[in-house]
Amino acid sequence: MSIALAWLALLVLFALATWLGKRLGLIAIVSQLLLGILGLPVLLLWAEPQGFGAAALLAPSWLPALYGVAFSLLLGYILSDVVELDLQPGSLKIALPSFFLPFFCGLAVAFWLLPSLSTQACVAVGLLFALTAIPVLFLYLQAQRYPPAKIRQLLQAAILMDLLCWLIYGLVQGSSAPSTLLWPLLAAALPLLLKGLPWQSARLNGGVFLALLLLMQQLQLNALLFGIGYLLLLAGLRMPLQLPLPAAGLAWLQTWLTVPLILAYGLLQIDWQQAWQAYSWLQFGGLLVLPIASKLLGNWLGLSWAEGQLRARLGKWRESLLLNTRGLTEIVFLNLLLQQQVISQQLYFALMLMGLIATLLPAIAGSPSRHLIQSNTEARSPNEAC
């Protein structure tokens, strides 16, 4: 019972940090990352002598099941955003350099700086270099009052990048154990049966999706491949999807429960005394700087290609910073890799810290002026604005 109260107190602490962050103008995920990475180690130093250390907090038998539900809800929320892809030429031009330049940079860094990693882990590092957090990007764009056409273009580019990320990792993960692909692929074909049901509905499709996603996660099958396959088949059959909870309820759970729980569950598995010492300064610095630098360059090239000009402008660099946000998508991906023991605790910590820095940069840069946003929008051709 005391451990349950300790977890409740930890969630309350995340809630207070989120509330305080909002008062200071920070979005929720930034406040939660700051508390998790900078505050949690200090809290553990105080709690360890009281019997509430990391090992004790991770010991309850009910915790993995609660984590599985929270993880499935958040992964389902993200994947349902990823498959809503209305591909536009401008978004594709942004996405290709924005994804592949940091991806290949990440592969090179993994083979160069971390030679002990497996091939699957090297691919995962490359993908972590390349991904963009869709929900956090939307919040930043909305807060900075970008025009709807520009928001749509940047979000579609981010969706395409994350779709590539999930697909590549799902295929790589499946190729390492082909026998585990059968059940996820069979489950992903379920919409073919649902379509023939007389009571088929968007809510039924969403409920079946989340239930099977949770089952795949608990059985340690390829939940990613199932989720993407199921949702792409729904889209191909033009079948609607509605998650069981209303959008407002999902947003509330995400802010106050699922993200803090998932973040704390992953960070509590880190040996904080060894996290700073496992890598050399070259390795640690490379894992902090190179993902951000390569992603910014890829974003800038993609935005330049979409606009048809390579001339450096302040607006493009601001949008490059926005497309560099990591946030929720990186947390889910990192926790998935840590849970499957694809990456070490030390690599998890280094890349989580990198994600915090990358997600903070747009807030530090501040909001662009309305004149700058308007000039960037008008600089595009009429066809791209449609």
Q: What does the domain layout of the chain look like in residue ranges?
A: 2-385
| 3-state per-residue secondary structure call for 175-242 | HHCHHHHHHHHHHHCCHHHHCCCCCCCHHHHHHHHHHHHHHHHHCCCCHHHHHHHHHHHHHHCCCCCC
State percent of the chain over pLDDT 70. Answer: 90
Contact 75, 227 (CB under 8 A): yes
State percent of the chain over pLDDT 90. Answer: 42
Q: What is the pLDDT of residues 162-173, one digit of tens each?
A: 889 988 988 888
Q: Which two tokens stand for residue 238?
A: 């033009």
Please provide residue 146's backbone torsions phi and psi, each rounded to the nearest 5 degrees: -70, 150
Q: What is the pLDDT of residue 66?
A: 92
Q: Which two tokens stand for residue 117?
A: 């990693």
Burial class (CB in 10 A: 0-12, 13-18, 19+), 169: buried
Please provide residue 269's backbone torsions phi and psi, each rounded to the nearest 5 degrees: -85, 0
Integer-rounded Cα Rg, in Å, for the chain is 21
Q: What is the pLDDT of residue 383?
A: 39
Q: Torsion-angle region of residue 327: left (phi > 0), alpha (psi -120 to 50) or beta?
A: left
Query: What gap in Å lies between CA 331 and CA 348, rounded to an integer?
Result: 10
Task: Tell me how far CA of residue 32 lies from CA of 36, 72, 129, 196, in angstroms.
Answer: 6, 19, 21, 44
Q: What is the rounded average pLDDT of the residues 248-265?
A: 90
Which band of pLDDT confidence, cut at 50, 70 and 90, is reported for residue 370? low
What count of Cα atoms within 13 Å lies in the side-chain half-sphere of residue 143?
A: 16
Which band of pLDDT confidence, cut at 50, 70 and 90, is reported for residue 30? confident
> 84 or 218, which is more confident?
218
Pick the closest to residue 368 from 144, 197, 210, 201 (CA basis): 144
Query: pLDDT at residue 369 above 70?
Result: no
> What is the model's pTM?
0.84
Query: What gap in Å lies between CA 316 and CA 274, rounded to an integer?
Result: 39
Q: What is the rounded average pLDDT of the residues 375-386?
A: 42
Close Cβ partners of 129 (under 8 Å, ≥ 6 residues apart):
102, 103, 105, 106, 109, 290, 291, 294, 295
The CATH number given to 2-385 is 1.20.1530
Q: What is the pLDDT of residue 366?
A: 66
Q: What is the pLDDT of residue 385?
A: 35
Pick the closest to residue 330 from 243, 266, 281 (CA basis): 266
Which band of pLDDT confidence, cut at 50, 70 and 90, is reported for residue 384? very low
Which band of pLDDT confidence, cut at 50, 70 and 90, is reported for residue 314? low
Contact 295, 317 (CB under 8 A): no
Burial class (CB in 10 A: 0-12, 13-18, 19+), 3: middle
Q: Give the H or E element holding residue 166.
A: helix 148-176
Which band of pLDDT confidence, cut at 50, 70 and 90, is reported for residue 85? low
**Least confident stretch, 16-25, 74-83, 249-258:** 74-83
Contact 241, 183 (CB under 8 A): no
